[in-house]
Structure 1
């Protein structure tokens, strides 16, 4: 075979044992968020990269006293484009360890990698490190750079992690970004919904429950306000045709994996009432009440439109509200070169084509897309994510690593022709 084809075949070979060798020590090093201390796991990740990726240039970038990020870079045979792999070092807390039937600090059993962060996303990080190792071994056959950025605060939205690296480290940006966050090897994700989190407070007047005419019930006022917020679900969405077409085309593959109704959720504003509180006794009129809501925005509607709807709808007696978090929906054109190359690499590895779809949940991919960097999320299926007995399928992690490596290799070798 020609040298380039031989190199591509080498990049694509199965490295699942290496992925597990990388993932287990990462899982064994706690990095729960909160409290968000990634110093130990960042130092470990740097050591693992040094051992497994020959010639990597490795830097630690603190975002705060306890949030530490990692950047590793390898260079190809000459000048060219840059591909950035991205992942996050922080995880959900373990919670009550007594509820786990396996070791939350990591173990393999029956073809599964268990432990906190196995799926979200230390398994995905291990897959990307193994992909970097594959590229490093074949560096004579590709041009440009491959960079791995590991952020310390994705679970708290990334301002001290990915965002900081994009702002402060020139080689943390590139021509394309590949992220191994939770998903499925059968779905390449090209975008995600935006979100607005709000707090709503209702003020009333306390009174005895038998004398309601002397009070003003804050919970009643809150109920009216929440009904107004729920009408946001009916806002019209002007979704770009290529995005609508991709969501519809992915449905047959994506919904069996992610649940019936996913396509509808991706195409509409959703409102989730996550917290509601108020009152102290059935026979007292509550003077205050509180709610917190998560509003998700599909591609095709802006945060400004939703915020205008909130401003109008919540202009009510005794009601105040504030925005906790706000991000626009974001996407890379599903016909973009990166998305096409990822889908082709997945087809080559699995022998069948993946779906190309949006992602329901949020991730650090939004930071790259906000910087106009084409980005794809391609990772393992998450099982029990955030719950006891979290795990990822070991074979899937092997697939993810191979697809990451192939996508990057093709992007860096075929850049001149644009094939």
Structure 2
């Protein structure tokens, strides 16, 4: 296992260097170039994989060392959300160290996680020279954005070039309050729907001459929200439908509008698919508004990785380093693991996520050291 002081120096300084690259989505900051040079110096074959065009151009990186099995891939993202309007006590891209913490946008989500894995890989290679199997990294620049030209495209390239791993660790900040809390072994699916209802515009004093689309839309939303989708499963909480917006755009008080729309998001478990839920919403809409239009976009399907040997080794590593046996969980939002799960088994484990996306985002140095030690222990035992 990596020496604690060495881990501190390597992981912390690399995290600070990555934070200093202001890599707001899509990341064109140079953070991936820094990592490419670092990985190439350790013997990795490095591929720069930009996808998309114009404003959507997204830099991505894939690096691999070794060709044998087992093939472990670490997946993460170098892009970050903007600093936001709230005041920071330090520059959001300074990588300041204060009171035992590293501050900066991306410190926990997820440049700290990337730094910890690179430090762990370097420590492992310093002991063994080359891995028995192979180690790779998939790093994207658009996880925090639309995720169209990042992980999903790199995985297609990996499949075409024989680089699909046996197991993947996504370094998202999975721990709610302290290191060792939780490993994510699945995620709910997510679908966004936009419902548009057309009516007939008219004067509010003569409703018989109009067809109010707002009334029809409210009936639709009432029917959608009144029905529980399910009661949950042993691994997943109940599916949830939430109305996120209702729009009419009518500034007049005496006019029945001609159109009304609403946005709906459904987070769903493995009892459903995105297509089945889209079909259900369309059926409900037709009952109350035969001319309603429904547009749907499935962000990802529900998935779960069985608690097999790799998940067990990862949980063992967490327990050895932190003294806590992590819970296996499927809650929270979506991540790029939803794309990886279509190709191989995947689990997520990273830092404490309490400060992610907030002003003064930070990571405790002791947590960076612990995460490096966990990744190092996992590598050691997986490659044994």
Encode CA deviations 1:17-44: one digit per residue, 9 max, x unaligned: 32121111211212222xx243622212
Select the residue among 303, 324, 334 that pairs with 1:330.
Answer: 303
Preserved contact between residue 228 and residue 314 of structure 1 (Cα < 8 Å):
no
Task: Specify the alignment match of 1:155 in structure 2.
Answer: 144
Relative to structure 1, the CA distance from residue 141 to residue 349 in structure 2 (aligned partners, 3 Å threshold; closer, same or farther) is farther
Question: What is the number of residues matched between the two proteins?
Answer: 371
- How much is the aligned-residue C-alpha RMSD, in angstroms? 2.3
Residues 142 and 188 of structure 1, relative CA distance in 2, 3 Å threshold: same
Q: 2:50 aligned to 58, 62, 67, which one?
A: 62
**Other-structure match for 2:374:** 403
User: Does the aligned pair in 1 maintain the 2:237–2:331 contact within 8 Å?
Assistant: no
TM-score (norm 2): 0.89
1:274 Cα deviation after fit: 1.8
Q: Is the 8 A contact 2:4 2:369 kept in 1?
A: no
Note closer, same or farther for the CA distance 1:108–1:212 as it changes in structure 2 (3 Å cut): farther
Partner of 2:111: 122
- After superposition, the Cα gap between the structure-2 partners of 1:171 and 1:181, relative to the gap in structure 1 and judged at 3 Å, is farther
The corresponding residue for 1:42 is: 32
Aligned residue runs from structure 1 range 135-154, under 5 A: 135-140=124-129, 142-154=131-143
Partner of 1:272: 242
Contact 1:113–1:393 at 8 Å: present in 2 too? yes
Change (3 A) 1:387 1:273: farther
1:89 aligns with 2:61: no
Give the match for residue 23 of structure 1: 15
Q: Distance in 2 between matches of 1:100 and 1:212?
A: 53
Offset at 1:49?
Answer: 3.2
Gap change, CA 1:15 and 1:31, over 3 Å in 2:
same
Contact 2:2–2:376, Cα closer than 8 Å, also in 1: no
Take 1:208 and 1:234, find their aligned partners in 2: how far apart are those partners? 38
Distance 1:409 1:359, change over 3 A: farther
Residue 335 of structure 2, aligned match among 363, 373, 396: 363
In 2, the alpha carbon distance for the partners of 1:385 and 1:293 equals: 25
Question: Which position in structure 2 is the counterpart of 1:200?
Answer: 195
Shift of 1:144: 0.8
Report the CA distance shift for 1:126/1:300 in structure 2 as closer, same or farther (over 3 A).
Answer: same
CA distance in 2, matches of 1:90, 1:138: 31
Distance 1:232 1:386, change over 3 A: farther
Alignment of 1:279-290 (within 5 A): 279-290=250-261
Q: C-alpha distance in 2, partners of 1:10/1:118?
A: 21
Contact 1:204 1:218 in 2 (8 A): yes
Of 282-291 and 341-350, deviating more is: 282-291
Q: Secondary structure at the match of 2:297?
A: strand
**Structure richer in helix, relative to its length:** 1
* Local SS of the residue matching 1:137: helix
Paired position in structure 2 for 1:164: 153
Q: Distance between the aligned counterparts of 1:331 and 1:291, measured in 2?
A: 31
Deviation at 1:122, TM superposition (A): 1.3
Distance 1:153 1:233 in 2: 34
Local SS of the residue matching 1:156:
coil
Give the match for residue 365 of structure 2. Answer: 394
For structure 2, the 5+ residue unaligned runs are none
Q: Is the 8 A contact 1:11 1:135 kept in 2?
A: no
Match for residue 295 of structure 1?
A: 266
Q: What CA deviation, in whole Å up to 9, does each residue of 1:249-300 have, x standing for no partner? A: xxxxxxxxxxxxxxxxx42111122222112233332222222121111123
Give unmatched runs, 5+ long, in structure 1.
1-8, 248-265, 414-419
Out of 202-211 and 191-200, give the one that drifted further: 202-211
> Within 1, Cα distance between the matches of 2:251 and 2:356?
35
The answer to whether the Cα contact below 8 Å between 2:188 and 2:334 also exists between their aligned partners in 1 is yes
Give me the whole-angstrom Cα distance separating, in 1, the residues matched to 2:209 and 2:230.
Answer: 38
